[in-house]
Amino acid sequence: MRTAGIDIGSRTVKLAILEDGRLRAARKRENSFDPLAVCRELLDGERFDRMVATGYGRHLFAREIAARTVSELTAAATGARWLLPSCRTVIDIGGQDTKALSLDDSGRLLRFEMNDKCAAGTGRFLEVIALALAARVSEFGALAASAAGSCPVSSTCTVFAESEVVSLIARGVPRNQIALGVTESIALRAASLAHKAGVFPDVLFTGGVALNPAVQRALEARLHVAVQVPDDPQIVTAIGCALLAASSPADLDASPA
Amino acid sequence: MSDYHPMWKSLGLDLAAHDAMLQSVGQAYQETFLSQPNRPEGMKYFDFVISEVHGLRIKELLDAKAQGRKVIGSYCTFVPEELILALDGVSVGLCTGGDFALDLVDQVLPRNTCSLIKSAFGFKLGKVCPYIESCDLVVGENTCDGKKKAYEIMRRFIPNLHVIDLPQVKSEAGKGLLLAEYKRFAAKLEELTGRKLELGKLKAAIVTVNAKRAALKRLAALRQADPAPISGLDALLVSQVSFYDDPVRFTGAVSALCDELEKRVAAGQGVFAPKRPRLVISGCPMAFPNWKLPAILESSGAVIVGEESCVGERSTRWLTPENGNSVDEAIAQLVDRYLQIECAVFTPNPTRIEYAEQITRERKADGVVHYSLQFCQPYQMEAGPVVEQLEKDSIPALRIDTDYSREDEGQIRTRVEAFLERLHA
């Protein structure tokens, strides 16, 4: 069976297609004001028997384009276990959410924690701060890594943190030190959620922010355990959906709309 | 429906704002309640009450006032309704379940105040609550620090305010304080009504309120059945209405509803299909018209089978003995009854968790959703230990901290869905 998983996140839409237990396609596209159009573009020309959707746009998608839905948490746990069968903890930092999941030996979701209705410490936070530092998000990790010491950023609110960063720049603090400070504040928040949910090795770090190696290192320093990042950390939740699609009831068989 | 605008105008309401509010509550009611499947016939009474919530019921209050009775409004289950009824007063719970006139509220309260307190001020400052404007006396109570200090500010806008002090520890000294405060409240009511508290009338009032609570307990017990004969939303609505409806008429309506539900249970009929995930809510009160979390829970595929809450079983669990031989003895019995309420303002408060676990087992619930309002220190503080204890006792628990705004509905829905998936994994 060929199954599709679509993860309609606040910043990026991800599509994974699995067949015979192998990943056949993994595609991403930046989200827009019209998530359905982005989904349709992403699905264009794809063939599959069943599809499961997750992410903020899942209910809209399920209504307009037939698919079963699942929460991002179950999808992330499923995808993480497929990539790393020994995984017991997942830390996922996406565009607007930070999630921490703890799983039992068999991969069942034990506990989960999510950030409040606040973008602090999420991918969006990183984007806003990168802009204030005139750095590309893709370079942010390298910039932070180049700093000898970090300049603490105390604000946890995206808006206040941005103005704090602006005032640090005005005080002449080198931008790589600010970048490292911001990195550490992101890791601090995620680690605190992870501790609440329970941290058991192996720890897998997923979501767009996991593309940033400085956050990975800062998380390891905070959690005192190795934190692994898959080759493509953004696609994990979509893979989870595609796996769940294979075990979903047949009455929701979907075809690309 | 009659045109109540002249009545509302005479009460000093802001008519345009009030019309807009009624329309928005009406629309929410339509979407949340009337669209539910398989509702019991007995809910029609409550639909009618809601449709006339600012109409007929207010007219009743004004008619009672014209006959020399006094209307006493309150915000908390610690205010003993029995004393009010014994002095021929009309007791009404005042609404604190919706955001209103936040711009005006922000001028007098800190922004990091819980939604419930803000709501009490919003309805007053926005001039949209005919209940509060009908009151001869408004009764506050020193529960949490937020309310305690808020009443000091509220006095500016509501001069006819009486605040009952409450103990924080369930000790002999605490009981002594509550007894003194209930006696002071009784004296205040005697002064207001010009009547004397008599044993016969007090016992009759205790019987009336016991009957109301017994009917609500019967309703709660019927929710043990699978499939549940009534939705959690409808059961919550009944609890919400209990605070301002006429107690005798309300008891009759709840009893009729229970008769119908008993037949449903016997016939194996429910509002939803059997084996739907069953949840208990524990935490802050959900005052009218706060339906946000239960609406998300039930539209995500769960059914709520109990509320460990002041708008729920925390206000109905205990009845008062009806055998007092003197006014003093009857008041002491009321004190014993009310001091059992498991509000998070008490320290310590261990029996609250025990009861949440008890009803979870009795109702065969699959998990507990702990609900606290943002900035509600007592319940937010208790949430950690409560959730920990539940999980330790193998009861899955989900903690939700939120407010009356709608902006976090997406995030809450994600958590709720993940929690339900966890229950069925």
Closest to A103 (Cα-Cα) out of A117, A119, A92: A92
- pLDDT reported for residue B19: 96
Contacts of B422 in chain A (CB under 8 A): 74, 108-109, 112
Distance, CA of B337 to CA of B78 (rounded, Å): 10
Which contiguous run of DSSP H or E holds residue B209?
helix B199-222
Chains A and B: how many Cβ contacts under 8 Å? 42
The model carries a pTM of 0.92
- Tell me how close the Cα of B102 comes to any Cα of chain A, in angstroms: 19
Angle ∠(B146,B151,B157) on CA atoms, nearest 5 = 135
pLDDT in tens, B167-188: 999 999 999 999 999 999 999 9
| B410 interface with A at CB cutoff 8 Å | yes
Q: For residues B82 and B327, is the Cβ–Cβ distance under 8 A?
A: no
- pLDDT reported for residue A249: 62
Q: Which two tokens stand for residue B52?
A: 């006339």
Q: Which two tokens stand for residue B91?
A: 């007791």
Tell me what the pLDDT averaged over chain B comes to. 97
- Tell me how close the Cα of B368 comes to any Cα of chain A, in angstroms: 14
Place of tokens 């069976």: A1
- pLDDT reported for residue A257: 35
Q: Are strands B367-373 and B397-402 parallel, antiparallel or unpaired?
A: parallel
> Do B414 and A112 count as a contact with CB atoms less than 8 A apart?
no
Q: Which of A69, A72, A109 sits opposite B422 (nearest CB)?
A: A109
- pLDDT reported for residue A161: 84
> Do B411 and A117 count as a contact with CB atoms less than 8 A apart?
yes
> Do A74 and B425 count as a contact with CB atoms less than 8 A apart?
yes
Mean pLDDT of B82-104: 96
Q: Which two tokens stand for residue B44?
A: 């029609």
Distance, CA of B79 to CA of B162 (rounded, Å): 11
- pLDDT reported for residue B336: 98
**Fold exhibited by the domain A86-229:** Nucleotidyltransferase; domain 5 (3.30.420)
pLDDT in tens, B291-335: 999 999 999 999 999 999 999 999 999 999 999 999 999 999 999
Phi, psi of B253 (to 5 degrees): -65, -40
pLDDT > 60? residue A255:
no
| B411 interface with A at CB cutoff 8 Å | yes
**Two domains, one topology: A1-84+235-257 and A86-229:** yes
Mean pLDDT of B360-386: 97
Yes or no: domain A1-84+235-257 corresponds to CATH 3.40.50.20? no
Distance, CA of A98 to chain centre: 7
Which contiguous run of DSSP H or E holds residue A17?
strand A12-19
pLDDT > 80? residue A256:
no
DSSP type of residue B100: -
- pLDDT reported for residue A253: 43
Distance, CA of A63 to CA of B167 (rounded, Å): 52
Q: Domain residue spans in chain A? A: 1-84+235-257, 86-229
pLDDT in tens, B134-151: 999 999 999 999 999 999
- pLDDT reported for residue A160: 81
